[in-house]
Structure 1
Amino acid sequence: MDLVAEDLQAFAVFARHRNFTRAAAELHVSQPALHTRVRKLEGRLGAKLYVKRGRQLELTDVGERLAAFANDSRDRAADFLRTLGAVPPRPLVLMAGSGAFLYLLGDSLKKFLARGRELRLVTGDADATASSVRDGSVDVGVSAFAVPPADLEYELLAQYPQTLIVRSDHRLANRRTVRLKDLQDEALVVPPKDRPHRQQLERSMLDQGLRWSVAVEAEGWELLVHFVRLGVGPAIVNGSVRTTASVRKIPVKDLPPVRYYVITRKDPDDRVLELTKALT
């Protein structure tokens, strides 16, 4: 089977973005040309490399393995050239969610970058982060996992309670803690339906037979807080989320804590270990 190195690296870029538009722009090729390359690889391998789930593109198992092979080949070639003094080390790649970058990683990243280390930062949800670490397009990932991926190295970074945020004039504003039953018939500010946080909330409310409705869907913790501050409705967020004095944070007793993990591939090299240590 003849796999062209150029096509493999093009697929590795697509696998990192999981988006044909952004991948084609990085590669300086047209979207049809990139589609053609990926289809040719699928034809040679006799297997699908990605599938579409809702608005998201996800790599299949074969796609993850092919991307990992492409990235490993790239790294081995770069390592060899570095032994000849031909190329400098490539920047490490760190992927995390926007909330982790906003509320969790800032000080650690400042200290790491102050050492003169090169680092490329990309955002992604938990599934994208785990998949990108597996295929080698990302060196270190930080995300919230209910159960950390067993096939990767992981270390607990932090954990926070899930908290209800309400305006100071809300009926629950003076409570020290709340339970989900206290939100019966509330209209809540929530993430979109495909987000894990929203899905867990819906399952938990359904398990307790509670009625509730959507006041507004909002993408990102900052926008959720903004809508709460406007009086659109309360929201449940990770306890790490920062608020203003006009918003009360109240722990929700019957929701599990949110645990953030640092994840890497097995047997990380010294540079990856240095970054992991800096974050933890």
Structure 2
Amino acid sequence: MTLVAEDLRVFAVFARHRNFTRAAVELHVSQPALHTRIRKLQERLGHELYVKRGRLLYLTDAGERLALFANDEADRATDFLRTLGAAPPRPTVLMAGSGAYLYLLGEPIRRYVGKGRELRLLIGDASRTLEALRDGTADVGVTALGVPPDDLDCELLGQFPQTLITRADHRLAKRRTVRLKDLQDEALVVPPKGRPHREQLERALLDQGVRWSVAVEAEGWELLVHFVRLGIGPAVVNGSVRTTSAVRKIPVKDLPPIRYYVITRGDRGDELKRMLL
């Protein structure tokens, strides 16, 4: 069984996107052709390289190891060509969630690119960010974690309380703090099912025996805030989320803080990491 450079290049692009449509566009091939190529690569290796869970694709352990190998090979080739003056500088790759980009990373990113550094930005939730660090797709990750993994270098960027946001005319708006039991019988604005924040909140409300209902499901912090401002219902959000004067922010005492970490593997992305911290 032989792996050729084109196999590695194709799989590295697929692993970065975890999406056949977007990877096919970058590779300038049809989606069916890319499906066939990845399927044949799996057959030759004798291992599944990805699995589908719901609408998302995730790399298997074998897929992560192959992606890491593919990215390392690409880096070595680029480094060699650079010694000959035949390759452009390799951009640092940062992966983070939309909330981190909106509320935490704007100024460090401006400073980094302001120094003339090349930076490529990827968006992903915590699980996809960790995958990207492990398989070499990303050099630096920023995400919220409950327990940092042992196999990656994680440094605390900041922590934020979980807060209830309401309109000024809501019954809880004048409270300095609230507890989950204060949300009894509330209709809440929440993320869609399966999102980490939604799952954590649902577990906490269930543990406290709090009855509640869904006012609306909204994707992304900004849309949650927008629906709260419209009076659809209150929401529990990360304390780093910015709001307007029309919305009150009240810490929830019996929910743990949200901790954001800067995550790296080895010494890749060290300059960006120092700037973020």
TM-score (structure 2 length as normaliser): 0.98
Q: Which residue identity does 1:7 align to in structure 2?
A: D
Measure, in 2, the Cα distance between the counterparts of 1:274 and 1:133.
Answer: 16
- For structure 2, the residue ranges without an aligned partner over 5 or more in a row are none
Q: Which residue identity does 1:80 align to in structure 2?
A: F
Measure, in 1, the Cα distance between the counterparts of 2:30 and 2:47.
Answer: 24
Measure, in 1, the Cα distance between the counterparts of 2:194 and 2:212.
Answer: 18
Measure, in 1, the Cα distance between the counterparts of 2:147 and 2:77.
Answer: 34
Secondary structure of the corresponding residue to residue 117 of structure 1: coil
Secondary structure of the corresponding residue to residue 172 of structure 2: coil
Cα deviations by residue, 1:112-148 (Å, 9 ceiling, x for unpaired) = 1111111011111011111011111111110001111
- For structure 1, the residue ranges without an aligned partner over 5 or more in a row are none
Cα deviations by residue, 1:221-255 (Å, 9 ceiling, x for unpaired) = 00000000000000000000000001000000000
Identity %: 75
Q: Which residue identity does 1:9 align to in structure 2?
A: R
Structure 2 match to 1:276: 273
- Which stretch of structure 1 is more off in the superposition, 36-45 or 82-91? 82-91
Structure 2 match to 1:197: 197
**Runs (4+) off by over 2 Å:** none
Measure, in 2, the Cα distance between the counterparts of 1:182 and 1:14.
Answer: 46
Shift of 1:85: 1.7
Measure, in 2, the Cα distance between the counterparts of 1:95 and 1:43.
Answer: 30
Q: Which residue identity does 1:268 align to in structure 2?
A: D
Structure 2 match to 1:94: 94
Measure, in 1, the Cα distance between the counterparts of 2:112 and 2:70.
Answer: 28
Structure 2 match to 1:15: 15
For 1:107-256, what aligned pairs fall within 5 Å after superposition? 107-256=107-256
Measure, in 2, the Cα distance between the counterparts of 1:122 and 1:53.
Answer: 20
Contact 2:188–2:214, Cα closer than 8 Å, also in 1: yes
Structure 1 match to 2:32: 32
How many residues align? The count is 277
Shift of 1:88: 2.0
Cα deviations by residue, 1:55-101 (Å, 9 ceiling, x for unpaired) = 11111111111111100111111111112222121111111111101
Measure, in 1, the Cα distance between the counterparts of 2:29 and 2:259.
Answer: 40
Measure, in 1, the Cα distance between the counterparts of 2:42 and 2:231.
Answer: 51
